[in-house]
Amino acid sequence: MAITGECFCSEVRYQHNGQLRDAMSCHCSRCRKMFAAQASASAFVEPEEFQWLSGQHLLTTYMGEHGYGIQFCKKCGSTLCTVHKDQVFQIMLGCVNGDPEIEIGRHIYVGSKATWEVLPEGLNSFEAGFR
């Protein structure tokens, strides 16, 4: 199954030829800032199954610690993926088109969630990481 995704302005597009894995949402303060939202929502990909279809010249990388970075569209600001050593290893679910046939299985770092975020009952949640 091929999954496609694109940024808000639609110039950056990608395809993933396989199933996404391990979808999760992180509620830590860093993810809040990074995604300007209450939490991140991401899933893992196989780097070999991921390909950019268009707009790669608009991709900008913000490098964080330990060689991990995020890539976003410099025209519209959508964050599309996280990278490690120039390989895409996670995509942000908000930019996926349609149904990626995966659900968020874990909510992590809910111990540091924003005071204004109200979490529904019964979430599979972890105060910090899950290891």
Q: Which residues form the interface with Zn ion (CB under 5 A)?
A: 7, 9, 11, 26, 28, 31, 73, 75-76
Cα(125)–Cα(71) distance, rounded to whole angstroms?
27
User: Cα–Cα distances in Å, from 18 out to 3, 38, 48, 76, 88?
Assistant: 7, 28, 10, 27, 14
**Least distance (Å) between residue 78 CB and Zn ion:** 5
**Least distance (Å) between residue 30 CB and Zn ion:** 5
Cα(73)–Cα(110) distance, rounded to whole angstroms?
28
Q: Quick check: 109 and 26 in contact, CB under 8 A?
A: yes
Q: Which is nearer to Zn ion, 8 or 18 (CB)?
A: 8
Nearest in space to 19 (alpha carbons), one of 47, 59, 39, 46: 46
Q: Which is nearer to Zn ion, 31 or 92 (CB)?
A: 31
**Least distance (Å) between residue 19 CB and Zn ion:** 23
Q: Which is nearer to Zn ion, 48 or 65 (CB)?
A: 65
Q: Which is nearer to Zn ion, 19 or 112 (CB)?
A: 112
**Least distance (Å) between residue 9 CB and Zn ion:** 3
